[in-house]
Amino acid sequence: MEYRRANECPRCGFVYTGFNRPKPANSTFAERFSASLREQRRHSGIFGRVRYVEAEHARPWQCRCGTWLQASPWSFGWVDVTGIAALGGLHAVLAANFGWARNGWVFATPIALWVGYRLTRQVSVAEVPAPASAEAASGRR
Ligand SMILES: [Zn+2]
């Protein structure tokens, strides 16, 4: 078995992070935007929003080399819970001692950075068969 990192395309070795997936082919920004709005309407509330982002995350996409890839679902473990609890605790200590730390951003920004960092570390892609709709579309080429 050839060694590869979990976030690399198995065929061409392109390294994926959470943010550099190719956009669906043959679509304009407006089309993608309205499709995204349509799907978001099916989910409501803050947890609906999270589920939508998670569904997007697990949707297969086509690499520039033509391979269909799918990311494995997010998994958060004790390290995330501990990290967020530690940041929250640190903030409580700072807020008790310093006026500037009572600003909500001082609390939210490190947690957002931590969650973002964990998400980019969790990208793990696997090759999947092309979806039936994409098979039909590529037959035209
Ligand atoms: Zn590739």
Percent of the chain topping pLDDT 90 = 8
Residue 137, CA distances (Å) to 11, 34, 72, 75, 140 in order: 22, 21, 25, 33, 6
Distance from residue 10's CA to the centre of ligand 1 (Å): 7
**Which pLDDT score, from 0 to 100, does residue 2 have?**
54
Burial class (CB in 10 A: 0-12, 13-18, 19+), 26: exposed
Q: Which helix (H) or strand (E) holds 122?
A: none
Does pTM surpass 0.85? no
Distance from residue 61's CA to the centre of ligand 1 (Å): 10
Amino acid of residue 111: I
**Which pLDDT score, from 0 to 100, does residue 97 have?**
92
**Which pLDDT score, from 0 to 100, does residue 140 have?**
46
Contact (Cβ atoms closer than 8 angstroms) between residue 128 and residue 10: no
**Which pLDDT score, from 0 to 100, does residue 138 have?**
54
For Cα atoms 58, 22, 127, give the angle at the middle one, nearest 5 degrees. 50
Query: Cα–Cα distance between 101 and 99 in angstroms, integer?
Result: 5
Distance from residue 68's CA to the centre of ligand 1 (Å): 8
Tell me 36's DSSP state: H
Query: Average pLDDT, stretch 125-129?
Result: 88
Distance from residue 108's CA to the centre of ligand 1 (Å): 36
Distance from residue 71's CA to the centre of ligand 1 (Å): 13
Helices (H), 1-141: 29-41, 45-58, 78-97, 104-121, 132-138
- Tens of pLDDT, residue by residue over 35-89, are 888 877 777 777 777 788 788 888 888 888 989 999 888 777 788 888 889 999 9
